[in-house]
Amino acid sequence: MRLLTLFDTHAHLDDPQADELTVLAQLRDLRAAGWRGAVVAGYGPERFARSRELCAAEPLLRRAIGLHPEWLAAAADAAAREAAWHALEAELDGAAIVALGEIGVDRRVRDVFPAAEQQAWLARGLGLAAQRKLPVMLHIVGWHGHALEVLRQGPLPQGGVVHRFSGAPELVREYEALGLHMGISLEPREDPVRRAALVQAIAADRLVLETDWPLHDLSYPESFVKLLDLAAQVAQWRGVDRAELAAQLARNAQMLYRLDPPHGCGAQAAE
């Protein structure tokens, strides 16, 4: 049996490959399957308009915006990165945003975007998030040491989430000590024993679940159903009943993104 309801804490519903009207129709239908909303995770300025439109049309959506390390690595030059930073600041001025991100570090792009530069951009993101009183949505791949070095220097007053965390269970307490939540996503290829150990290492009030859609060739509704299955598995691993887990996950998402009181991002964006 699945969980009854779930909020997806990280999904790229503004993906340019997806058809906007199809996504919105799917979200409307998904309410009956227990979908209680999602945060549209930020990638780069080209997606601002799409995420703004989606949020204006679907009241259960919230927006995060940021400059993903992959986006920064692929940018043509320093001028393009600076222009994107200014676009990010401007978007924060005019729209309702629940988190700054994705921001972070990614070892896979180190050849074109060296560690020191990635750390400098992460630090810059933390500064902006603190200034705007927002939590951060962190993308950290491979370089946990580099990331922790920056995060420990802060500022990190509003906390945030290490999204799609699949590192060692020992790292969980390092991130939790900084006030961060831990995002667990669909990882179909991962060993279930390792996964269980990781999920059990996370404090009850820091765990959040996410699809991180798009994923393989699954539609968003297919991914959401898989997330409900994952949640049922998580309840089993943690030895709690599904209703208790559903309530805890809802509280955690609310704490992380300050979802209460509800504020549809469309309303404010239109002002």
In sequence order, what DSSP letters do the residues of 112-132 get, joined into one string?
TS-HHHHHHHHHHHHHHHHHT
CA–CA gap between residue 184 and residue 230 (Å, rounded): 9
CA–CA gap between residue 165 and residue 176 (Å, rounded): 12
In the bound state with Zn ion, the residue whose beta carbon lies nearer, of 139 and 146, is 139
Q: How far is the CB of 9 from Zn ion (least distance, A)?
A: 10
CA–CA gap between residue 68 and residue 12 (Å, rounded): 12
CA–CA gap between residue 181 and residue 129 (Å, rounded): 16
Q: Which region, judged by CB under 5 A, interacts with Zn ion, from 19-27, 34-42, 112-120, 151-159?
A: 34-42
Q: How far is the CB of 19 from Zn ion (least distance, A)?
A: 20
Cα-flanking dihedrals φ and ψ of residue 184, to 5°?
A: -110, 130
Site for Zn ion in 115-154 (CB under 5 A): none
Q: How far is the CB of 10 from Zn ion (least distance, A)?
A: 6
Please select the residue that binds Zn ion; options are 13, 38, 41, 105, rule is CB under 5 A: 41
Residues 61 and 13 sit within 8 Å (Cβ to Cβ): yes
Q: Which region, judged by CB under 5 A, interacts with Zn ion, from 38-46, 142-150, 170-178, 214-222?
A: 38-46
CA–CA gap between residue 120 and residue 150 (Å, rounded): 8
Residue ranges of alpha helices (H) inside 140-191 are: 144-153, 169-177
Site for Zn ion in 183-242 (CB under 5 A): 212
In the bound state with Zn ion, the residue whose beta carbon lies nearer, of 106 and 212, is 212
Helix (H, G, I), strand (E, B) or coil at 194: helix
* Position of minimal CB gap to Zn ion: 41
Q: How far is the CB of 186 from Zn ion (least distance, A)?
A: 12
In the bound state with Zn ion, the residue whose beta carbon lies nearer, of 139 and 206, is 139
Q: Which region, judged by CB under 5 A, interacts with Zn ion, from 35-43, 51-59, 142-150, 173-181?
A: 35-43
Question: How many residues belong to the site for Zn ion (CB under 5 A)?
Answer: 2
Q: Which residues bind Zn ion (CB under 5 A)?
A: 41, 212
